[in-house]
Amino acid sequence: MTENHHDSALSPFQAALRFAIELTALVCWAISGWRVAEGALAWILAIALPLVAATLWGTFRAPDDHSANGQAPIAVPGAVRLCLELDVLLGAALVTALVWSVPVGVALAIVVVFHYAATIGRIRWLLTQRAGRANAMHPGSGTASGTASGASS
């Protein structure tokens, strides 16, 4: 059980690779946004798509995730965090392949898959993490479910 405490930590190589993947995904979102529109809309999408991706990435985190210094501005279950990560990274690869460059999109997808395969311990850790700490403090709240659902104030 003590091993779980650090299962979310990344090796220096994997942390650097992940940072490079994140930056590449943001660039791919920007270029893809630029390529799908023209004029002012192209500028808006080129700025908005990576901005939304980065905001989601930095805001919704699993508590105590050592790959993010344990900080969770908005705590979410690990499975939600994993889905968000895969959406941002593989979504960037897919959109890049569809609207800009198939080789770049495929290369990004391959590197993302390699990274997650090499950090399977973190994936296992994420999948065991439940909702934020506030929700975890009330495990017995279901015992009074009859009262809560039947009575209203």
> Is position 144 within any domain?
no
pLDDT at 32: 97
> Is position 139 within any domain?
no
> Is position 149 within any domain?
no
Question: Could you tell me how far CA 26 lies from the centroid of its own chain?
Answer: 13
Q: Which domain holds residue 35?
A: 2-134
> How many H-runs (helices) and E-runs (strands) does the chain carry?
7, 2
Taking alpha carbons only, the member of 82, 75, 69 closest to residue 135 is: 75
pLDDT at 144: 33
> Is position 146 within any domain?
no
Report how far residue 100's alpha carbon sits from residue 65's, in angstroms, rounded to the nearest whole number: 33
Q: Which residues contact 82 (CB under 8 A, 6 or more apart)?
A: 123, 126, 127
pLDDT at 132: 57
> Is position 142 within any domain?
no
> Is position 81 within any domain?
yes
**Cross-strand bridge partners of residue 75:** 61
pLDDT at 131: 66
pLDDT at 8: 81
> Is position 143 within any domain?
no
pLDDT at 91: 98
Taking alpha carbons only, the member of 118, 26, 137, 19 closest to residue 68 is: 19
pLDDT at 67: 78
> Is position 30 within any domain?
yes
pLDDT per residue of the chain (153 residues) written in tens, 0 to 9? 334 445 788 999 999 999 999 999 999 999 999 999 999 999 999 999 999 999 999 999 999 888 777 778 999 999 999 999 999 999 999 999 999 999 999 999 999 999 999 999 999 999 999 865 543 333 343 333 333 333 333
How many other C-beta atoms are found inside a 10 Å radius of the C-beta of residue 118? 14
Q: What's the number of domains the chain is made of? A: 1
